[in-house]
Amino acid sequence: MPSRRAVLAATAALTVGGGTARADESTRPHELVSRMTLEEKVGQLFVPRVYGHSATAPDRADVDANLKELGVRTAAELVERYRPGGIIYFGWAHNTRDPRQIAELSNGIQRASLALPRGLPVLIATDQEHGIVCRVGRPATLFPGAMALGAGRSERDARQVGLTAGRELRAMGIRQNYSPVADVNVNPANPVIGVRSFGADPEAVGALVAAEVRGYQDAGVAATAKHFPGHGDTAVDSHTGFPVITHSRAEWEELDAVPFRAAVAAGIDAVMTGHLLVPALDDSGDPATLSHPIVTGILRERLGYDGVVVTDALGMAGVRTKYGDDRVPVLALQAGVDQLLDPPDLAVAWNAVLNAVREKEISEQRLDESVLRILRLKGKLGLLDEPYVDPGAVGRVVGRAEHLALAERIAERTTTLIVDEGPLLPLSPRTHPRLLVVGADPASPSGTTGPPTGVLATALTGLGFTATALPTGTEPADEVIRQAVAAAGKADAVVVTTYNVTTTSPQRTLVERLAASGRPVVAVAVRNPYDVAHLPAARACLATYSWTDVELLAAARVVAGTVRPRGRLPVPVPRADDPARVLYPVGHGLTY
């Protein structure tokens, strides 16, 4: 890795071709912009994906993917051709195999960029929300997600999550995190936000958003509040459709705006727009990402925010329903956006912006405004002076024992006991020595070592039970349910993991038939706490808000009684037979 002196020399050269003068931090971005070509300025706006674990030597399949989607072979070639201001890491793009590899990939990207004439460091980003959205997996520390933190109601815990996770991300060369989610989840049918939100109370959500923002930014990582102006009340996923938010202007002010105001007050470094139609804020029919009244009129002028605004991914359906991929980035910039995230066709988007500036559709002054915001952020994060990280030191920061212990304690404080008839819990190896663990095994996020049923069975066995796992899936067939009921005959109690249960879900049938066998049933909702409304046959119901190891192990300890449940619902659970009525209110939570 280059020495600190070499890094400083490289960044000093940015200020003037061949010169060594160094402007102070307040004028430095202006000095940099004044020496950039138009093409270099346009490049600063883009945050594309790229495939591969290495900047220069990715696997053959990743080379092929890069050639097909980006027209380059490697991350280094991407940087050379487009001069992007940022790059986003994904697990599916094979960027995040392990912490040391991530650090070396980050260094390779920086090295490629700084080797160019007037080369600038790259702002590397990812979505590390924790809970169900994690791009960097074990051995990094994986914390409970936002709704779990909402159940814990601790601003201190939220700040510690941001601070600790931020330190780990920074050690790997990731300086921007697309978190926290500032959406207020008031729609139980929301398919895309749900447990990614801190809850349904805007004031409580705002307090936790602000706390997590301060944690990340104290760690030297840019936090990003999303998805402005608020994605919490929709039944449409903006990845696959075009959500419409029907709140009135007054409802938006009282509900959706509150956490974003809190983020701005906390000094948030970046805000991400949502691909949402909000007629009360802009009746043009344009998504918020492309709306000047929303991005400039409300976010910048009304809320007083002058930091970086980044779009949600431009390949999502919500932003592509009205305009072509060549118009979307241009309209986003005209709306007031600064960073253009992951366009579906980088060449089309890059050339469209370049041509729009050349043809005066976008003024160079407007372009400079966004480039300056991006460079100021890079300066604040220390990238202009120290873009490299030490791969040898990653193991001393990422996944430290005290970080893992903190995640365990937070998970224990957030696990929520919603129902406990009898009471049934805690179970004891003396009274219920044989346990059957059945149920849903959703696709594992990065924070898991295996399917939820297996993780729970192993954990319960370690706590003195004899626990057997029998996965039945999210849509168990009749024969699978019969097998589970037969297996329950040999057990003293049954633990069932549930995932997004509905009134007609076979998971509900599974729980009913297991309960009818005479065995006590403990349901563990591993995603949405709303499952409990559909499971009246279960004698006990827990909510973990995710199925990462840290939350499942905490649930096992609650079932066994080695820790007491302390979480309280951060969202109301509506009745299954009458969704307009509340079955369990915000703040409900049992203990023993």
Which of 417, 418, 420 minimizes the C-alpha distance to 520? 420
Annotated active-site residue in 312, 420, 441, 531: 312
Label residue 180 exposed, middle or buried (CB < 10 Å: 0-12, 13-18, 19+): buried
- Can you tell me the distance from the alpha carbon of 90 to that of 106, in angstroms, rounded to the nearest whole number? 13
Give phi and psi for 283, each to the nearest 5.
Answer: -95, 20
Enumerate the H helices of 268-313 as residue ranges: 292
- Does the annotation count 420 as an active-site position? no
User: Cα 548 to the chain's mean position, in Å?
Assistant: 14
3-state secondary structure of 479: helix
- Does the annotation count 239 as an active-site position? yes
How far are the Cα atoms of 480, 495, 508, 525, 565 from residue 541, in angstroms, in the given order? Answer: 22, 10, 13, 7, 11
Sign of the CA dihedral running 285, 288, 289, 290: positive
Annotated active-site residue in 218, 237, 239, 385: 239
- Can you tell me the distance from the alpha carbon of 142 to that of 571, in angstroms, rounded to the nearest whole number? 23
The count of other CB atoms within 10 Å of the CB of residue 328 is 26
- Can you tell me the distance from the alpha carbon of 554 to that of 531, in angstroms, rounded to the nearest whole number? 19
Tell me: cis bond preceding 423? Omega within 30 of 0 counts. yes
- Can you tell me the distance from the alpha carbon of 336 to that of 300, in angstroms, rounded to the nearest whole number? 8
Give phi and psi for 93, each to the nearest 5.
Answer: -90, 5
Enumerate the H helices of 517-561 as residue ranges: 549-560
Hey, which residues are catalytic here?
Answer: 239, 312
